[in-house]
Amino acid sequence: MNFDTKINRKNTNSIKWDGHTRFKVDPSALPLWVADMDFKTLPEITQALNKQVEFGIYGYAFEPESYFEAIIHWMKRRHHWEVQKEWILTTPGVVSGLNACILAFTHENDSILIQEPVYHPFKNSINYNKRIPIINELVRNDTHYTINFEDFEKKIIENNVKLFILCSPHNPVGRVWLKEELIQMADICHKHNVIIVSDEIHMDFVFKGFEHHVLVDLKPEYKDFVITLVAPSKSFNLAAFKVSQLITPNKEFLEKVKHEYERLGFHGHNTFGLLACEVAYRQGDQYMDEVVEYIDKNIHYIKEYISNNLSQIKVMDIEGTYLLWLDFSALNLEQKSLIEFLEKNAKLWFNDGSIFGTSGKGFVRMNCATQKGIIIQALEQLNNALNDKVR
Ligand SMILES: Cc1ncc(COP(=O)(O)O)c(C=O)c1O
């Protein structure tokens, strides 16, 4: 794949590239925010979709056997995880799975644990469903984040937590959790009867030297209380198809979640999404390896550029995901002024760090899944704006 060629995504109804008016952002700000990639997907996916389009009849569809096989083989090949077909529920997006689990396993006013800073729909989903978010703050040591296990357990006990939503790998702090960390968290949850929803959507984006561990597979007893959420949407840039998977060996859990979808009238699947998912997981190994390598190079470039030219910015370590967590607190700006400065002066559109939790103040999240030329342009714009500010 050639990931270097810039592709004009303007006027394609892209939230990222055409969302400026909708989100009231300076129209000339270069978008490096929402988590989709500026790369074309695997060509075999497009070919398969073209064939499907040409058929011309788009009636109700179910998942073919080959779709389940492709998922099962991908998880085994890439993650050494043996999934059974009966454990898989196709869902219209990971966030929908999250909400269905909240509805299925908790009641109004129940406490749900999350680890901020974290992907903001976690807290939104808890609040929308009138549950109580309980925060186990991640601990920052210079450029690296870890878990305060003592606080993790204390918060569970004190608030009678029913559910824990884990982000693994972690968006936005970029951690790929160690096996020991995962086990320690899951054992605490097991001890206190806390169900875990493990959002592993970023599982395929792990850089050299790190390994993603599927939580539910780490101990046999985790099969009873861990639900895993995955999708091909980040890995192969298929977010618009709204196809994801909720996987649990616990039959009773699966039935409860299915019931929540039925209550909302969700039935049937997007036939294009099913097909794209199948082709991705069947033929996407090389694409995946190459895209991770390309993003890794972008990240190295950014780190070097910042360390040579922009000493005001601190780059947090990134072990997985394509989202870089940048600390701008040395500029001593209020969060609103920081975002305004980046947007109006540097003409850059990042995610405001504060949406991920109060500990995200002073930070922004940068999407690195774009052409190197765009990364270079962004860094130069940032450098110029910061130089002008000093002058
Ligand atoms: C951790 C995490 N979960 C879920 C999603 C979105 O999933 P979906 O679009 O399938 O709802 C994202 C997207 O950025 C994410 O980072």
Residues with CB under 6 A from ligand 1: 35, 93-95, 119, 167, 171, 199, 201, 231, 233, 239, 244
**What confidence score (pLDDT) does residue 342 get?**
97
Half-sphere exposure of 365 (CA within 13 A, CB side): 28
**Ligand 1 centre from 234 Cα, in Å?**
8
Task: Tell me, in angstroms, the distance from the centre of ligand 1 to residue 36's CA.
Answer: 10
Atom of ligand 1 nearest to the CA of 167: 1
Whole-number pLDDT of residue 391: 67
Determine the distance separating the centroid of ligand 1 and the alpha carbon of 233, expressed in angstroms: 8
Kindly give the distance from the C-alpha atom of residue 231 to the centroid of ligand 1, in angstroms, as a whole number: 9
Ligand 1 centroid to Cα of residue 244, in Å, is 10
Encode 142-179: b = buried (16+ Cβ within 10 Å), e = exposed.
Answer: eeebebeeeebbebbeeeebbbbbbbbbbbbbbbbbee
Q: Which of 32, 90, 94 has most ligand 1 atoms within 8 Å of CB, for mutation? A: 94
Q: Which residue is closest in CA terms to ligand 1's atom 9?
A: 93
Q: How far is the CA of 95 from the centre of ligand 1 (A)?
A: 6
CA separation for the pair 12, 283 (Å, rounded): 27
Dist. CA 18–CA 8, nearest whole Å? 11
- List per-residue pLDDT tens for the chain, 391 residues long: 899 999 999 999 999 999 999 999 999 999 999 999 999 999 999 999 999 999 999 999 999 999 999 999 999 999 999 999 999 999 999 999 999 999 999 999 999 999 999 999 999 999 999 999 999 999 999 999 999 999 999 999 999 999 999 999 999 999 999 999 999 999 999 999 999 999 999 999 999 999 999 999 999 999 999 999 999 999 999 999 999 999 999 999 999 999 999 999 998 899 999 999 999 999 999 999 999 999 999 999 999 999 999 999 999 999 999 999 999 999 999 999 999 999 999 999 999 999 999 999 999 999 999 999 999 999 999 999 999 877 6
- The full length of the chain comes to 391
Q: Distance between CA atoms of 34 and 15, rounded to whole angstroms?
A: 8
Q: Quick check: 30 and 10 in contact, CB under 8 A?
A: no
Measured in Å, residue 276 CA sits from the centre of ligand 1 at 17
Q: Residues 79, 200: contact at Cβ < 8 Å?
A: no
Candidate of 90, 95, 101, 245 to mutate for ligand 1, largest count of ligand atoms within 8 Å of Cβ = 95
- Pick the atom of ligand 1 nearest to 95's CA: 11
